Each structure stands twice: as structure tokens, then as C-alpha cells.
Amino acid sequence: MNTALPIITVTLNPAIDLTLSIPGFAAGKVNRVADVQTHAAGKGVNVATMLADLGATVTVTGLLGSRNAEPFQLLFAQKRIDDQFVRVPGETRTGFKISDDASGQTTDINFPGLKVPAAAIDELTTRLATMVRPGSWVVLAGSVPPDVSGDIYGRLIEVIRAKGGRVALDTSGAPLKAALAFSPDLAKPNVAELAELVGRELPTPADIVAAAREVMTDRGVSLAAISMGEDGAIFITAEQAVRTFAPAVAVKSTVGAGDAMVAGLVFAMANGLPLDEAARLSTALGTYAVTRIASGLEAGGHKPYLQQVRVETI
């Protein structure tokens, strides 16, 4: 499969991830690093990398610090990704990830991000408007830099829709709540983020489906994908709801698992796959992602999990 139109990802707050592998990590103790990996990241960048490895044609844009852009430029050249990032004075932030193989847990230490001049937002908006074609999928993913308005994703959705594009949204907190008012085509909060949106706990799959319909699909979001970590995910449209159960695997890092899921969903939607197949691909890629410390996909690495993911109608 391949997509006819380039898939565009937008990353407003990318990062250079420094991942420390520390078996048995303990706060307040002396910890010894077993391995270190550094790579260009940020949610939209991770989505783009996975999409490129799936065979999609991909364009990336967003806001990138001009003083340390080289790791991103090398990644995009290696993956044949079209780089349309707006360069901003200063350095892209570094994110520290502490991966504990013994517990399967990852600790994130994230910095706030670049100071972004208003002119950079204007340039990004103009670039995005020239890239989107009718039917284009655009992924808006990640946090928002501290001095950028929380309604930025809503403004970008308006630009994309005016050009006939479709929107996949993966963010959290105030930017998520604000952007949902513009009814993106696809939204992927995790269950905790969904619970925050509706202001109540969601202990059962039925509760999750009801909440997703309340704040998303009943308000124009075509597909809500609710990730639940090791408990799988639930995928909800106005007419259907399916739950996936992921196979048990040895977890090396949870960083990027949600991004892999988004990439799978957008790839599936761009190729016209039905909901159950989209859910299966998304979950298989998310499962694959937690088994390694890196973004992207080694050739066919997710295929064994495709057969192991169980899909049930709710």
C-alpha cells in the first residue's frame, strides 16, 4: 500500500531525545547508565518517521531551532522526508528519557521549548496553506511552546479545512480541549486525557465509549482512538466501537508508542482501510514501538504483532 498524497505532520515543539537506559532506576539513589541513545524526536517527527517506514510519502513542518537542526536534517534526508520546518532562532529543546528495562517504565523529563516569534507562526501558517491539497491528511501532534497561544491547533485546523484537508490530532491538556471545538477528523487522547475532558473517572470500556461520543464523535470528530497502555485501545466512530487487545511483550520504552499508533491510523485511513483493520495496524505498531528504544520501523518489524492483536466489537 502507498498513499497518493503526501501526509503532512506538524510539530510545534520538537525535541532531541536523550534516552538513558538504567535498569532498576530509583529516584534519590545513585543510578548507573547501561546505554545512551540520542535521536531527533517530537510527536509529529516520530509519526513522520513511522509513516515513511510504512511507505508513505511524508512532508514535515513546524518550528525548529536553527542552532541545532542538524540531527533533524539528517533524519529527514535518511528517510526521504520533505523538510518544510520553519527555522526559529535558538536551540530545539532536549528531552531526557530514563528507560528502566527491569520495570518496563519510562520517566520523561521535558523542557518547555523555544521562544517563538509571531512571524514564525505566520510563516508556518502560510507554508501549511500552500502544502495542503483536497484530501490531504495533516497530523497535528505534541505540546505547544510556552509563548504560543493555546488555540494554535484550532487556527491550523481552519487553515487545513479551507484547503480541503483532513486532520489527525494528538495533543493534551488545554490545546486538546481547544482544538476539539474545531472537530478534527481523528483525535487520539489516552484514557486519562479523556477522563480529564469529561471530568469523571472511566472505569469500563462502556464508560470510555460514552465519554468519547460525548466530547468527540457526537461533535463532529469522525474517529476517536483512546489508548489504554497495556490494556490495548478503543476506537470509536458514530456507528461503531472496537477494542484491541495487544500481545504481551517485553517493554523497553513507552516513548513513541502513541505516535506509532497515530501513524498506523493515519496510514490506514489514507489507504481506505475499515475500522477493524485500522485498529489492528495501529495497535500492532504501538506494540512494536514499546519493544525498542528508537522511532520508526525496521522492515516488517510489526508484522508478527498483526496476527497477535485481538479485535473485538463493543
Catalytic residues: 259
**Residue written as cell 531525545?**
17
Q: CB of 50 within 8 A of CB of 284? A: no
Query: Backbone dihedral region of 296: left (phi > 0), alpha (psi from -120 to 50 degrees) or beta?
Result: left
Helix (H, G, I), strand (E, B) or coil at 43: helix
d(CA 84, CA 75): 13
Contacts of 118 by beta carbon, 8 Å cutoff, 6+ apart: none
Q: Which of the 8 DSSP states describes residue 239?
A: S
d(CA 44, CA 238): 27
Q: Which of the 8 DSSP states describes residue 255?
A: T
Q: CB of 187 within 8 A of CB of 169? A: yes
Cell numbers describing residue 73: 536534517
d(CA 86, CA 14): 12
Closest CA to 38 of 14, 21, 60, 18: 18
**Residue written as cell 541513545?**
37
d(CA 186, CA 135): 14
